[in-house]
Amino acid sequence: MNHMATEKISGSEALIRSLLAENVKTIYGYPGGAIMPVFDCLYDYKDRVRHILVRHEQGATHAAQGHARVSGETGVVLVTSGPAATNIITGVTDAMIDSTPLVVITGQVASSLLGTDAFQETDVVGITQPVTKWSYQIRRPEDIAWAVARAFYIARTGRPGPVVLDMAKDAQQGTVEFQYKKCDYIRSYVPYPPINDADVQRAADVINAAQKPLLLLGQGVVLSHAEPELTALVEKADIPVGCTLLGLSALPTDHPLNKGMLGMHGNVGPNIKTNECDVLIAVGMRFDDRVTGDLRTYARQARIVHLDIDASEFDKNVKTEVAVLGDAKESLSRLLPLLEEKKHTDWIESFTPCERREYETVIAPELFSSSGPIQMGEVVRKVSEATGNRAVLVTDVGQNQMFGARYFKFTQTRSIVTSGGLGTMGFGLPAAIGAKIGAPDRTVCLFVGDGGLQMTVEELGVIMQYDIDVKIILLNNSFLGMVRQWQQLFFQERYSETPMSNPDFVTLASAYGIKGRRVETREQLDEAIAGMLAHRGAYLLDVAVEEKGMVFPMTPAGTCVTNIMLNVDEKY
């Protein structure tokens, strides 16, 4: 526990000191009337905490998400009341679904004005309660330290997520005898439930009996820092692995047991083998519909073992035989010594025909075209390899996201930042800014479409003001590409409101002092990528890609996980 000496200070200063006590070094925010006392106090602490002035409050939440995802820290947001508070809802919801720890502080009108429809008053607690782990209104300066300590404890423990503190203006302006005590216990909240050793033994018995096991690796492995335990487990028991979108970088791409991504646009092998395995082991994942497809046909032949810290995920979508409730790192640590050393050579080799056919039918044409328009996948792979496969991949949402996930390679954990569950267009640019600030020594590569970039394009101003070295690769097809793909496949090529007239993005970037280049031919691509990576500072590479490029493989929504389209005309 951390105690600070008692001293009488303003509520605003109590807030700043509370944040410092939680080791906050960066705040993403935007000032306004109802939070102005805090920003005035922040002026005196500029040497101890860095504030990043975003251009839109949604951008603050996404930047804080990017920061949290690469660093493992809790992202912090500070905005005013009314429209500022409503503008944070998308990012807060995104963080809730993707288990990202945030503490978001909103200003609020004075407590005497609550309920009067005062200027820029909104019911922030009522709006945010459904999409947060905790939402609380601070009306007295005496409650500030307590609330902040509780907020950080809730946000970062157990299954992480966002917390919102709505701070009345008079709480900021009043004075308080300040003493900070970190929170490490809340009676009604059990972030790390005790692990039942009998459940672990039952899981081990099921896994040891398996002839054709398959492990599904989710983001929970990353959040619990369980990568070493996971790797040791799959190597000891010789279990092939399929990764969720957010779990991709937890196991190196080239690990022989890593069979690729699960889901709608995932790799053929892990999807096909889901319906052939005899034991399915899910670790830190929630059986999202984009992974399972039609639940009535999903892994019906398999015994299901599910390890998760959130009991509400058990049997929510897929019925489990053994559920192990607890932190993934501890659960895997207890499970590992109980597993027998195995070799599943024939089972693992059975993935080879899937991999070969996917490579010949999908991957090779995407990566190694010698004529025609530039393909999105080849841009992603070339950038990844040019960074030594060591960069942080940030994506927006859409085709750029799926191509990024499929063709970027990972050699270290916490290397993918993307909007998974909510699928938020506009996420990419501010998230890349936060990722670079959160991991300043790493190269950050943002892949974004022309649609998503324009949703939060104003955040280029943040890059300009703070000289943030983000490499922006714009996969520009002048379409809302993923929607257009569905229109082509399922709506008789009726391209309703998906073609886009775009600005000159290189000129637009230059207005913010960001160097850029437009690439229209394959022959220019390697040189342009090298130039982008060699440039010190932010860079926008606008690549003209095939207008009607398609992300394959694809399992149509709501169908069996093995109903895989390899291209427009061919199924697996």
By annotation, the residues acting in catalysis are 57, 119-120, 169, 482
Produce one character per residue of 31-56: b if its CB has 16 or more CB atoms within 10 Å, e if not.
Answer: bbebbbbbbebbeeeeeeeebbebbb
Instruction: Determine if the peptide bond prior to 365 is cis (ω within 30°).
Output: no
Q: Decide: 106 and 166 in contact? Cβ < 8 Å.
A: yes
Beta strands in 338-470 (DSSP E): 392-395, 416-417, 444-449
CB atoms < 10 A from the CB of 312, how many? Answer: 9
Q: Containing H/E element for 306?
A: strand 303-308
What are the Cα distances from residue 410, in Å, to 172, 204, 223, 249, 390? 45, 29, 17, 5, 6
Adjacent-strand bridge partners of 303:
279
- Sort 372 into a burial class: Cβ within 10 Å, 0-12 / 13-18 / 19+: exposed
Nearest to 215 by CA among 304, 123, 142: 304
Looking at this protein, which amino acid is placed at residue 46?
K
Q: Decide: 518 and 373 in contact? Cβ < 8 Å.
A: no
Name every residue whose Cβ is closer than 8 Å to that of residue 53 and which is 6 or more positions away in sequence.
Answer: 29, 30, 462, 465
Distance CA 370, CA 168 (A): 62
What are the Cα distances from residue 195, in Å, to 149, 170, 390? 26, 45, 35
Name every residue whose Cβ is closer than 8 Å to that of residue 43 and which is 6 or more positions away in sequence.
Answer: none
Q: Decide: 53 and 128 in contact? Cβ < 8 Å.
A: no
DSSP state of 545: B
Q: Decide: 515 and 490 in contact? Cβ < 8 Å.
A: no
Distance CA 205, CA 314 (A): 19
Q: Decide: 292 and 318 in contact? Cβ < 8 Å.
A: yes
Helix (H, G, I), strand (E, B) or coil at 198: helix
Name every residue whose Cβ is closer than 8 Å to that of residue 528 and which is 6 or more positions away in sequence.
Answer: 517, 519, 541, 543
CA atoms within 13 A on the CB side of 205: 10
